[in-house]
Amino acid sequence: LSDKLQNALQKLKGKGKLTEKDIDLAMKEVKMSLLEADVNFKVVKTFINSVKERSLGSEVMESLTPGQQVVKIVHEELVKIMGQGESKLKINSNDITYFMMCGLQGAGKTTATGKLARKLKKDGKRPLLVACDIYRPAAIKQLQVVGASVDVPVFEMGDKTNPVTIAKEAMKHAMKHGHDIVIIDTAGRLHIDDSLMEELVEIKQTVKPDEILLLLDAMTGQDAVKVAETFNQYLDITGVILTKVDGDARGGAALSIRNVVDKPIKFLSVGEKMDQLETFHPDRMASRILGMGDVLSIIEKAQSAIDEKQALELQKKLKTQSFDLNDFLSQLQQIKNMGPLEEILGMMPGLGGNKKMKDLKVDEKELVFTEAIIQSMTKKERTNPSIINGSRRKRIAAGSGTSVQRVNQLLKQYDEMKKMMKKFSSMEKMMGKKKGLR
Ligand code: GDP
Ligand code: MG
């Protein structure tokens, strides 16, 4: 989804003026890529209409950078269809909080039960897990293993007791043992059936959960949306945990659910390990779908200072890491026009708090030395600074009228920047792989 969307939008980005036809064409492509990504048809229609309408309005037409404005609108509308902000769990401050996990078999209920417990425990809570899946073979054992791995106790009554009774007993147990959070792991079926639904409704009536969380397998695309509709009809769920987002190549489910059942996605499950649960942020998801992280804003910033061709080149170099001292110098020069480097690097996901960034401050005076030093190197040395040995450092220092110290400092700076770029590009790769959205 990501690649296709980017392609469609890339064409608009460079244009100085946009016509209605340009926008129509781009929207057709965006529409196709969304449908291919298994986004619900109704959602796509609403989305395209609002993007189109806004794109033809003055915010784009009177802008100096209309293409970028359209990208911005697409981003904003993506956020809108996924629900505006983060949706927090409802937790009682002076009463036991009950969560009920439901969903089809294999959706990831038991796994997410453990993940949630781990998260809440880290927040200082005392969770209890309840084994209400008495049908799937070894389901109780599985919950016990999960519970043990996050060091949270499991309440079970074997597989001969009715799940409603188990839930009732678990409530007493929690009260008696001072638990403040109870997470009920329920049974699923391969398909929705009435007896499963009735059992869940009964558990709901007994426990009156604060949250009824529906686990949806992102890999099932449109089916996930249908499952959500049915569960919501029976149970009036309070939120969704989208699972196996790590394996979903299309990202369609995330885009459809909010719109179809009007319930927020609260978490993303992105792997089998207990720490692989992320709070869902619509804006970050939109950025991931657009394949840009915060890179979008970096590029935008770069574009206002550098011309577009150079910006694209920089982007390419960042990705391939074929970044040498010549680039380093020209970057330093351009960065001067872009504003503080800290701010730029701060926008890169994960680099915000890096303390090494201090070393990368660009100082006008330093820049003169830097330029002189780099110009005193041979072409070979500029493309491959690692070949510069001790005696060459002395020569370069003499040639540029600086000191060996300064030369060393510069080479260190360059190494630092390169390391960050490496980190940045592998992070991008990781994000892409993890989310499977590109
Ligand atoms: P349940 O039947 O709904 O309780 O589902 P389980 O929690 O037993 O999960 C079914 C399978 O999916 C297990 O093999 C899990 O390890 C796996 N699984 C659960 N969540 C995720 C996830 O987010 N990513 C991946 N890749 N696998 C998951
Ligand atoms: Mg289970």
Note the pLDDT of residue 9: 76
- Rounded to two decimals, the pTM is 0.68
> What residues are designated binding site?
103-110, 185-189, 243-246
Both 300 and 261 in one domain: the answer is no
Final residue of a structural domain among 81, 116, 132: 81
Note the pLDDT of residue 296: 45
Both 309 and 425 in one domain: the answer is yes
270 Cα–ligand 1 center, Å: 10
Tokens of 204: 């709901």
Domain assignment present for 86: no
Both 267 and 136 in one domain: the answer is yes
Domain assignment present for 287: no
In whole angstroms, give the CA distance from residue 29 to residue 46: 15
CATH number where 366 lies: 1.10.260.30
CATH number where 68 lies: 1.20.120.140
For residue 360, what are the CA distances in angstroms to 310, 344, 394, 409, 412? 21, 11, 23, 11, 10
For residue 206, what are the CA distances in angstroms to 100, 226, 311? 11, 26, 60
Both 178 and 215 in one domain: the answer is yes
Is residue 269 within 6 Å of ligand 1 at its C-beta? yes
User: Which ligand is nearest to the Cα of residue 271, counting in written order?
Assistant: 1
* The ligand 1 atom nearest the CA atom of 270: 23
Tokens of 384: 């491959």
Question: What is the 3 state secondary structure string of 112-148?
Answer: HHHHHHHHHHHCCCCEEEEECCCCCCCHHHHHHHHHH
User: Which ligand is nearest to the Cα of residue 103, counting in written order?
Assistant: 1
Burial of 349 (0-12, 13-18, 19+ CB in 10 A): middle
Is residue 135 within 6 Å of ligand 1 at its C-beta? no
Is residue 109 within 6 Å of ligand 1 at its C-beta? yes
Final residue of a structural domain among 46, 81, 116: 81
User: Which ligand is nearest to the Cα of residue 139, counting in written order?
Assistant: 2
Both 114 and 263 in one domain: the answer is yes
121 Cα–ligand 2 center, Å: 21
Final residue of a structural domain among 81, 107, 139: 81
What ipTM was predicted for this assembly? 0.99
* The ligand 1 atom nearest the CA atom of 107: 3
* The ligand 1 atom nearest the CA atom of 271: 24
Both 417 and 300 in one domain: the answer is yes
Both 130 and 26 in one domain: the answer is no
For residue 390, what are the CA distances in angstroms to 114, 329, 335, 398? 56, 22, 30, 13
111 Cα–ligand 1 center, Å: 6
> What residues are designated binding site for GTP?
103-110, 185-189, 243-246
86 Cα–ligand 1 center, Å: 24
Both 158 and 304 in one domain: the answer is no
Is residue 259 within 6 Å of ligand 1 at its C-beta? no
Domain assignment present for 43: yes
Both 195 and 323 in one domain: the answer is no
Both 119 and 250 in one domain: the answer is yes
275 Cα–ligand 1 center, Å: 13
Note the pLDDT of residue 365: 66
Domain extent for 27: 2-81
357 Cα–ligand 1 center, Å: 39
In terms of phi and psi (left: phi > 0; alpha: psi -120 to 50; beta: otherwise), the region of 405 is alpha
* The ligand 1 atom nearest the CA atom of 104: 3
Is residue 270 within 6 Å of ligand 1 at its C-beta? yes
Domain assignment present for 330: yes
Q: Give the chain's domain count.
A: 3
198 Cα–ligand 1 center, Å: 24
pLDDT in tens, the chain (438 residues): 767 777 777 777 666 677 788 888 888 888 888 888 788 888 899 999 999 898 888 777 777 677 777 888 888 898 998 887 788 999 999 999 999 999 999 999 999 999 999 999 999 999 999 999 999 989 999 999 999 999 999 999 999 999 999 999 999 999 999 999 999 999 998 888 889 999 999 999 999 999 999 999 998 888 899 999 999 999 999 999 999 988 765 668 888 888 889 999 999 998 999 999 989 988 878 877 775 444 444 444 444 554 555 656 666 666 666 678 877 777 666 666 555 555 555 444 444 334 444 445 556 667 778 888 998 999 889 888 889 999 999 999 999 888 999 999 889 888 877 777 666 666 555 444 433 333
Both 108 and 218 in one domain: the answer is yes
Both 48 and 101 in one domain: the answer is no
Is residue 271 within 6 Å of ligand 1 at its C-beta? yes
If one residue of 111, 141, 216 were mutated to test the ligand 1 pocket, choosing by the most ligand atoms within 8 A of its CB, it would be: 111
Domain assignment present for 426: yes
Domain assignment present for 399: yes
Is residue 105 within 6 Å of ligand 1 at its C-beta? yes
CATH number where 224 lies: 3.40.50.300
Residue pair 203/164 in contact by the 8 Å Cβ criterion: yes
108 Cα–ligand 1 center, Å: 4
Domain assignment present for 88: no
Domain assignment present for 87: no
Is residue 436 within 6 Å of ligand 1 at its C-beta? no
